[in-house]
Amino acid sequence: MQVATLKPVQHFVILLLSAMFFYSITHAQVTLNSGIEHCALKSAQTRSAPKAVAQIRKWNYNVNFMDLELWLNDLSAPIRGKAVCNIQVTASVEPGIYMELNRGYTVDSAFINGERVEVVQEGKFDLKIFSQIHHETGERLKLEICFSGWPENSTALFLHEHDTSQILFSLSEPYGCRDWYPGKNDLTEKMDSVVMRFHTLPYYRVASNGLLQAEYIMNGERITVWKHNYPVTPYLLGFAATNYVSYVDTASSAGMPVYIHNYVYPENETLLRTRTKQTVPVMKLFSDLFGMYPFAGEKYGHAQIEWGGGMEHQTMTFMGRFDYEIIAHELAHHWFGNYVTTSSWHDIWLNEGFATYLAGLSYEHLFDGYYWPYWKAQNIEYVTSRPGGSVYVTDTTDVNRIFDPRLSYAKGALVLHMLRWVVGDEAFFKACRNFLNAHAHGFAGTTEVKETFENVSGMNLSYFFDDWIYGEGFPSFQVNCERLINGDYNVDIQQTTSHASVPYFKLPLPLQFFGNGTDTTYVIEVDSRTVTARLAPGFLVDSVKIDPEMWLISANNKALVINEEHPMQLYPNPAGDHISLSYTGNPPLEWYFSDSSGRRFQRGFTLKERSITFNLRGMAAGIYLLSVIQSNDNRMFKFVKY
Ligand SMILES: [Zn+2]
């Protein structure tokens, strides 16, 4: 048994914001990137735990329904439980089936279809349930397991204190379900429905998934029954028990009312009644952007717990802090994470990157422009604070890496923002909705996201996902803008990358030119390390801003504007298939190219135009010289042909 006696932490610092800074949400407590910060805490919560063992197991059944009854009593006593599962055999593996349950529990008895069966506990988590009878694929069985005890070295069940009361709560993601109920502990299935019954002292109330079916006191104990009728994956089940008070906020989704059932500590009720109301406009926004709240037939909810962050238990988010961004982040998970769940912990960005980005979108839409640029700037700075790291998780045995706030959350979110920039707003939001509809109440991975965005945009996005999901690092741009004699600008873009896994990033690069009291923005398609463009802003340029609206993950960018007029200029350099010579004064009398051995070729004579463009297609890559003879000036230009 593990009992922590933490003093309640007062997290609720009120940020006084001028009304000019926002609308829709009033009295908001906003801490930028707290949606990410809370997950760093999630990671820290499990830091002391040994590396989780990735369960590579061939399960031979699906759990369709679970009726879980837990006797929690005064919360600190050992738990007693009974799990009744309706399972369907998917492969007749002899001699029985495996489940997972923390070895801190003793299995008191187990039954298959009412017949008592033998159970052996192996290792830390394995429960081997022997069947006397051979069961064929497709057969439906009723499995009943009675257990008691307390989880050893638990990373998923926590007993803390607030004010003068104890609180017991679960946090199962990613591998912790086995700490409080027997079952499968993976991402291969969703149960169709779940009933959870809790027995406590009358002093305590229990918050959980789905709809409250019954809550009554009988024989000196409070019995609370929750039923969830939507498909749910094991890590999204949860319960929290303490001396809660509860109240309901009403939101709407696609014109339908959605009730937000809040369970908070009595000592925080007054404050939190104002905080939980912030969910209402966010519910409407996400419904407008991504479709109706996927669990509108039941409810949404918050349960206050003793922990720094939030956890998106399906229809009942657990909240350690009622910060605006955490509220938005956890609600967002009900589209991305709960409705459609990552099919693998390798692709956790599908849960966390999307939820982080949706919280960002709530700044974009629900505030007046004050927070949105800050949100983008802070995330770009955070992601580019280190040169490497992929969004894709290669080591799923490391819980800290799965929930890495810089990569799975911030970079995942910014990659989505860039994807929106690449495909455009209309295609982006349509693809998001198509993705959700295609995998409703199921699982999906990076492959499915890529397919959906390619189908909607008509673009091949392999390069994008290779560079930004599987590759590491980010680009830095050096942009040199040199004024030509006719007033146009030769723009030379050089790209370097922070990590060798991506030699260059292909992306549309926005450049904003300022000068003469005006500005204009160009988008240059960057598809190599070096790109040259000739632009005609129509004014003398004072400065150039790279990616002014922060669509891209990039850092250490530099822009240089050269306005002095040279009597003669050769550009671009290095050059591809063409190179141009522009000049003032008299036209050249003669010009010729020579290679490094001194051999002359492509000789020419007087021309009238103020510029000449030479075709270099027949020339091998290398260093060349262009010699130009004017009446009063002889010049030699060295250039690189690539
Ligand atoms: Zn999250």
Residue 438 belongs to a domain: no
Q: What is the DSSP letter of 20?
A: G
Angle, alpha carbons 317-321-326 (nearest 5°)? 60
pLDDT at 582: 79
SS3 labels along 424-462: CHHHHHHHHHHHHHHCCCEEECHHHHHHHHHHHHCCCCH
165's enclosing H/E stretch is strand 165-170
Query: Is residue 418 predicted with pLDDT exceeding 90?
Result: yes
Ligand 1 centroid to residue 335 C-alpha, Å: 12
What is the spatial distance between Cα 634 and Cα 642, in angstroms, rounded to a whole number? 26
What are 83-98's pLDDT values in tens digits?
999 999 988 766 788 8
604 or 250, which is more confident? Answer: 250
Task: Tell me which residue has tokens 């690449």.
Answer: 422
Residues 89 and 77 in one domain: yes
Residue 279 belongs to a domain: no
Pairing of the two strands 79-89 and 140-149? antiparallel
Residues 231 and 249 in one domain: yes
Q: What is the mean pLDDT of residues 350-357?
A: 97
Percent of the chain with pLDDT over 90: 70
- The 10 Å Cβ neighbour count of residue 203 is 13
What are 175-200's pLDDT values in tens digits?
899 999 999 888 888 999 999 999 99
Ligand 1 centroid to residue 311 C-alpha, Å: 7
Q: Which domain holds residue 599?
A: 568-642
Residues 185 and 142 in one domain: yes
Residues 577 and 539 in one domain: no
Would you state the structure tokens that stand for residue 23, as one six-digit string? 């609308």
Residues 121 and 227 in one domain: yes
Residue 632 belongs to a domain: yes
Angle, alpha carbons 278-282-284 (nearest 5°)? 125
Ligand 1 centroid to residue 360 C-alpha, Å: 13
Ligand 1 centroid to residue 329 C-alpha, Å: 6
The pLDDT confidence band at residue 436, using thresholds 50, 70 and 90, is very high
Task: Tell me which residue has tokens 């959350």.
Answer: 409
Whether the Cβ atoms of residue 36 and residue 408 lie closer than 8 Å to each other: no
The pLDDT confidence band at residue 470, using thresholds 50, 70 and 90, is very high
Residues 116 and 238 in one domain: yes
Ligand 1 centroid to residue 409 C-alpha, Å: 8
What is the spatial distance between Cα 255 and Cα 464, in angstroms, rounded to a whole number? 37
Residue 41 belongs to a domain: no
What are 377-395's pLDDT values in tens digits?
999 999 999 999 999 999 9
Domain boundary among 254, 286, 301: 254
SS3 118: coil
Nearest to 97 by CA among 57, 124, 127, 54: 127
Report the CATH number at residue 526: 2.60.40.1840
* CA dihedral sign of residues 130, 132, 135, 139: negative
Please list, residue by residue across 544-563, b when 16 or more beta carbons sit within 10 angstroms of its beta carbon and e when fewer do.
bbbbeebbbbbbebebebee
What are 303-337's pLDDT values in tens digits?
999 988 899 999 999 999 999 999 999 999 999 99
Residues 526 and 573 in one domain: no
Domain boundary among 219, 254, 289: 254
Q: What is the mean pLDDT of residues 150-166?
A: 93
Ligand 1 centroid to residue 363 C-alpha, Å: 17
pLDDT at 585: 64
What are 534-576's pLDDT values in tens digits?
999 999 999 999 999 999 999 999 999 988 766 778 888 888 8
What are 272-310's pLDDT values in tens digits?
999 999 999 999 999 999 999 999 999 999 999 998 889
Residue 449 belongs to a domain: no
Across 249-263, 374-388, 595-609, 614-628, least confident range: 595-609
The pLDDT confidence band at residue 13, using thresholds 50, 70 and 90, is very low
For 243-355, strand residue ranges (E) read: 245-253, 256-264, 300-304, 310-311, 317-319, 340-342
Residue 199 belongs to a domain: yes
pLDDT at 53: 47
Would you state the structure tokens that stand for residue 173, as one six-digit string? 């993601």
HSE at residue 446, side-chain half, CA atoms within 13 A, is: 23
Would you state the structure tokens that stand for residue 449, as one six-digit string? 């996201």
Residues 478 and 623 in one domain: no
What is the spatial distance between Cα 421 and Cα 406, in angstroms, rounded to a whole number? 21
Q: What is the DSSP letter of 487?
A: S
Percent of the chain with pLDDT over 70: 89
Residue 36 belongs to a domain: no
SS3 382: helix
Ligand 1 centroid to residue 206 C-alpha, Å: 23
Residue 358 belongs to a domain: no
Listed in sequence order, the residues at least 6 apart from 366 whose beta carbon sits closer than 8 Å to its beta carbon are 22, 23, 24, 25, 281, 282, 285
Residues 180 and 92 in one domain: yes
Query: Is residue 428 predicted with pLDDT exceeding 80?
Result: yes
SS3 labels along 249-273: EEEEECCEEEEEEEEECHHHHHHHH
Would you state the structure tokens that stand for residue 301, as one six-digit string? 């909810």
pLDDT at 37: 64
Report the CATH number at residue 150: 2.60.40.1730
Ligand 1 centroid to residue 214 C-alpha, Å: 30
Number of domains in the chain: 3
Report the CATH number at residue 581: 2.60.40.1930
* 302, amino acid identity: H
Q: Which long-range contacts (CB under 8 A, 24 or more apart) does 212-217 make?
A: 212/261
Ligand 1 centroid to residue 349 C-alpha, Å: 9
Ligand 1 centroid to residue 345 C-alpha, Å: 13
Q: What is the mean pLDDT of residues 107-135?
A: 88
Average pLDDT in the chain: 89
pLDDT at 129: 87
What is the spatial distance between Cα 60 and Cα 230, in angstroms, rounded to a whole number? 23
Residues 240 and 153 in one domain: yes
Residues 586 and 519 in one domain: no
Ligand 1 centroid to residue 440 C-alpha, Å: 19
Cis peptide, bond prior to residue 572, ω within 30 of zero = yes
Domain boundary among 548, 565, 582: 565
pLDDT at 573: 85
Query: Is residue 452 predicted with pLDDT exceeding 80?
Result: yes
Would you state the structure tokens that stand for residue 211, as one six-digit string? 């709809």
Phi, psi of 214 (to 5 degrees): -160, 150
Residues 70 and 179 in one domain: yes
569 or 253, which is more confident? Answer: 253
Ligand 1 centroid to residue 359 C-alpha, Å: 10
pLDDT at 606: 64
What is the spatial distance between Cα 334 and Cα 166, in angstroms, rounded to a whole number? 29
Whether the Cβ atoms of residue 37 and residue 51 lie closer than 8 Å to each other: no
Listed in sequence order, the residues at least 6 apart from 502 whose beta carbon sits closer than 8 Å to its beta carbon are 467, 471, 472, 473
Query: Is residue 128 predicted with pLDDT exceeding 90?
Result: no
- The 10 Å Cβ neighbour count of residue 501 is 14
